[in-house]
Amino acid sequence: MIQYIIRRLMYSIPLLLGVNILTFFLFFVVNTPDDMARMQLGQKHVTEQAVSKWKIDHGYDLPLFINSGKDSFKTITETIFYQKSIKLFVFQFGISDSGRNIGADIKQRMWPSLAVALPALLIGLSVNILAALLMVLFRQSYLEFWGLVACVVIMSISALFYIIGGQFLFSKLLKLVPISGFGSGVDALKFLILPVVISVVSGLGSGGRWYRALFIEEVEKDYVVTARAKGLSETQVLFRHVLGNAMIPILTGVVVVLPLLFMGSLIMESFFSIPGLGSYTIDAINRQDFAIVRSMVFLGSVLYILGLLLTDICYTLVDPRVKLL
Amino acid sequence: MIILWTDALIYLLLTTAMVSGFFLRNYEGLKRPLNKIAANKSAMVSMIILLFFVAIGLLDSLHFKAEGQRASGIISVLDYCTQPLWQQTEKTYSAPFSAYLYSKAYITQANGFQSWGFPRLKFGGSHLLNPEIEKTADVLIKLIVGLSKGFVFCISWVGLRALCLAKKAGQIRLQVRPGFMGITIIIVVVGLSGIIELSTYYHILGTDKVGEDVFYQTIKSIRTGLVIGSLTTFIMLPLAVVFGILAGFYRGWVDDLIQYSYTTLNSIPSVLLIAASILMVQIYMVNHPELFTNLESRADLRLLFLCLILGVTSWTGLCRMLRAETLKLREMGYVQAAKVLGVRPIGILFQHILPNVMHIILISVVLDFSALVLAEAVLSYINVGVDPSTYSWGNMINGARLEMAREPVVWWPLIAAFVFMFILVLTANLFADAVRDAFDPRRNQHD
């Protein structure tokens, strides 16, 4: 097992290197640091001195790949590629363009993100599965038909409307929960209810349909027929046999997104002003803080690749047919 | 005549679709699934509504120069048809069907006195003497006039067609029974005609902060939504098809390389990748102003870049599916037989592999469409979508955020964007479901 994990970890190195080079290309080759400096300093009347000062202040004054002015090792280390990109591998995110330590910001901001994303995922998952099981239980009836219609309608509405509508209805008109903000400890609960409910509702359409398709495929299999022939009731068949066997695809689908929960949801957090990584990213995009955006791109891919790794491990744990290769 | 980049691509896409439709019109394999779609009522209603959306989008994609109109002097055919809508601007917000502004101001009366109240609108309901009393009746009358105009138009059209058919057949037969589709088309046309009639007298969806008609904005947004939904797939398809089939067919190092590149792209969270790319495009545009001569072409290029970036980030899913299918197909008896008979690989790819993965491509194109329209709104909200000067539902929603917090609430731009976007996405979803049901072989086992 450990050998397998180590081998899988080795596979992810070229992937991360690819991501790293791609982001480097995107951020430093498409536009030179000079372009970025001009963008940051405003469009007009930017002197050469101001540009070079900005570059020195933010560490962009080095050559891209090879610094021929230095000796031996330093020809490689004293470059933008090494300073800005390679250091991401050891999670040294450096300083943002506005002068803050990105690593510290991330450590502080990932917990609020998780506080929204984790309950949203868990509650959403159980609601989706329950709705799908109900539709399968009453299959080929009006209940299923209208359930499916409701799913299509729910998934045809943009997530933005759920948020704006929810905030308007529950916070502004009914005054049940605060519009936005975040607190610590138990205090945070009242801020979290609305975002969690909204993300559960907005995900119900596509989620319900997806799990229903999964279960429908399962209920026609032989073991289900056997279970029914033994005299089990339809509810028992569904909840014990079908759900149990459908657990493998469900579980692997969930595991892959688990690490990404730290990144939070971009729009949700910015609408509800939750100080998580999602709103951090949005702020960075709006301020055009490239150092943060670059770090978040890299962090996101690391977490995704970690999710893939966890999925593979899960497969080997829950499904005995999958052999370690 | 001015051809913007997206215009050209849209019409190129349209021609490609029509030409392939023409060549495939007698293809046996398509008849059963097409009949299945035609038998699906919700799909057909969706298709008709979608076609109306597409027609508006196409009209809005023909631009020409009209001196004296607008700052840039570029207007589209749709603009030309809806001149009253965008020329009649008010001072600021006004509610749907209102004859008054939404905020109070000093009004100078005929006798020189000034009073504090809601001023009359310059255009909305300006034909009324006393809006408080006359308005409801007037709106109803205008609506009925509009509906009956549409109805008369439909009846005369149906009658003309019946006459022509009758002449062809050589006998007079005026029994025309419009089918289900015909009734849907009539309902849509009559409804549209009612809306058109009303919109020449009122701002039927109100006006926005600078007094621009919201109805006009929502109509203009249709094109943006359609462009993003269709051009992105147009850009993504060649990448996905070529790489997916090559990876599955040749295996070996080709497969490794292609798999590596799509896993790498896939592992970057897509919103972040799009955001990063758009930021870079923005810088490029700011630092090379000489390439973008006017506002229209600048906004248009940004839209094109957005489609490009969305396309480059979204080909991975389809590519993976095509690779898996090709891996399966290449072991099939007929492919093996072709190989043994000495058919060149390129021949096998075009003759045997491509036609057999076509259903996957078609299904994924229609399924992606609605997701892309929704994605545009989210991206515009986080400022990495279309240009702020482009009309789009995302920009409308973005602006509506502040309006919802205002007292009294300005709700109509949000509702307008919501309704139009919902109709487009819902019909696209229903149509996509029907296409999937008809073309997916796994769903056809039971009938």
Hey, are the CB atoms on A301 and B404 less than 8 Å from each other?
Answer: no
- Of the listed ranges A25-29, A132-136, B153-157, B165-169, the least confidently predicted one is B165-169
| CA B16/CA A310 separation, integer angstroms | 44
Hey, are the CB atoms on A161 and B382 less than 8 Å from each other?
Answer: no
When scoring A199, A272, A285, A289 by the number of chain B Cβ atoms within 10 A, the one with the most, hence best to mutate, is A285
Q: What is the mean pLDDT of residues B221-237?
A: 90
**Highest mean predicted confidence (pLDDT) among A71-75, B110-114, B196-200, B342-346:** B342-346
* ipTM of predicted complex: 0.85
Q: How far is B158 from chain A (nearest CA, A)?
A: 33
pLDDT at A43: 61
Q: How far is A272 from chain B (nearest CA, A)?
A: 12
pLDDT at A272: 86
| Percent of residues, chain B, with pLDDT higher than 90 | 18
Both tokens of B62, joined, read 């023909």
Name the 3-class secondary structure at B130.
Answer: coil
Kindly tell me the burial class for residue B286, based on how many C-beta atoms sit within 10 Å of its own C-beta (0-12, 13-18, 19 or more).
middle
Q: Given pLDDT bands bounded at 50, 70 and 90, which one contains residue A171?
A: confident
Judged by a CB distance cut-off of 8 A, whether residue A267 touches chain B is: yes
| CA A286/CA B279 separation, integer angstroms | 9
CA angle B144, B147, B153 (to 5 degrees): 135
Which residues are A28's β-sheet partners?
Answer: none
CA angle B317, B323, B325 (to 5 degrees): 105
Q: Given pLDDT bands bounded at 50, 70 and 90, which one contains residue B95?
A: confident
Q: What is the mean pLDDT of residues B44-62?
A: 90
A127 has a pLDDT exceeding 90: yes
- Of the listed ranges A177-191, B12-26, B48-62, B211-225, the least confidently predicted one is A177-191
pLDDT at A248: 81
Q: How far is B22 from chain A (nearest CA, A)?
A: 32
A319 has a pLDDT exceeding 90: no
Hey, are the CB atoms on A300 and B261 less than 8 Å from each other?
Answer: no
Of A31, A38, A267, the CB nearest to B280: A31
Q: Which residues of B touch A19 (CB under 8 A)?
A: 264, 267-268
Mean pLDDT score of chain B, rounded to an integer? Answer: 84
| CA A292/CA A98 separation, integer angstroms | 10
| CA B51/CA B57 separation, integer angstroms | 10
Of A15, A160, A263, the CB nearest to B381: A160
Q: Given pLDDT bands bounded at 50, 70 and 90, which one contains residue B244?
A: very high
Both tokens of B56, joined, read 């508006």
Of A26, A270, A286, the CB nearest to B276: A26
Q: What is the mean pLDDT of residues A6-34?
A: 82
Q: What DSSP line would sit under B259-283, residue for residue?
A: HHHHHHHHHS-HHHHHHHHHHHHHH
Residue of A nearest to B276 (CA): A293
Kindly list the distances between the CA atom of residue B299 and the CA atoms of A40, A146, B153, B379, in Å, as whole numbers in the listed order.
22, 42, 38, 15
Hey, are the CB atoms on A297 and B273 less than 8 Å from each other?
Answer: yes
Of A168, A172, A297, the CB nearest to B276: A297
Hey, are the CB atoms on B280 and A157 less than 8 Å from each other?
Answer: no
Name the 3-class secondary structure at B68.
Answer: coil
Q: How many CB pairs under 8 A join A and B?
A: 124
**Highest mean predicted confidence (pLDDT) among A91-100, B9-18, B289-298, B384-393:** B9-18
B90 has a pLDDT exceeding 90: no
Residue of A nearest to B398 (CA): A160
Hey, are the CB atoms on B384 and A263 less than 8 Å from each other?
Answer: no
Q: What is the mean pLDDT of residues B128-152?
A: 82
Of A159, A161, A301, the CB nearest to B267: A301
Hey, are the CB atoms on A19 and B267 less than 8 Å from each other?
Answer: yes
* B317 neighbors B300 (Cβ within 8 angstroms): no
Q: How far is B390 from chain A (nearest CA, A)?
A: 18
Hey, are the CB atoms on B268 and A158 less than 8 Å from each other?
Answer: no
* B394 neighbors B404 (Cβ within 8 angstroms): no
Of A39, A152, A155, the CB nearest to B283: A39
Name the 3-class secondary structure at B40.
Answer: coil
Of A43, A156, A285, the CB nearest to B382: A285
Higher pLDDT among residues B118 and B240, named by residue:
B240
B426 has a pLDDT exceeding 90: yes
pLDDT at B447: 44
Judged by a CB distance cut-off of 8 A, whether residue A157 touches chain B is: yes
| CA B15/CA B11 separation, integer angstroms | 6
Half-sphere exposure of B262 (CA within 13 A, CB side): 24
Hey, are the CB atoms on B426 and A14 less than 8 Å from each other?
Answer: no
Q: Which residues of B touch A36 (CB under 8 A)?
A: 283
Higher pLDDT among residues B261 and A34, named by residue:
B261
| Those residues with Cβ within 8 angstroms of residue A26's Cβ, 6 or more apart along the chain or in another chain | B276, B277, B280
| CA B82/CA B373 separation, integer angstroms | 24
Higher pLDDT among residues B66 and B173, named by residue:
B66
Q: How far is A70 from chain B (nearest CA, A)?
A: 30
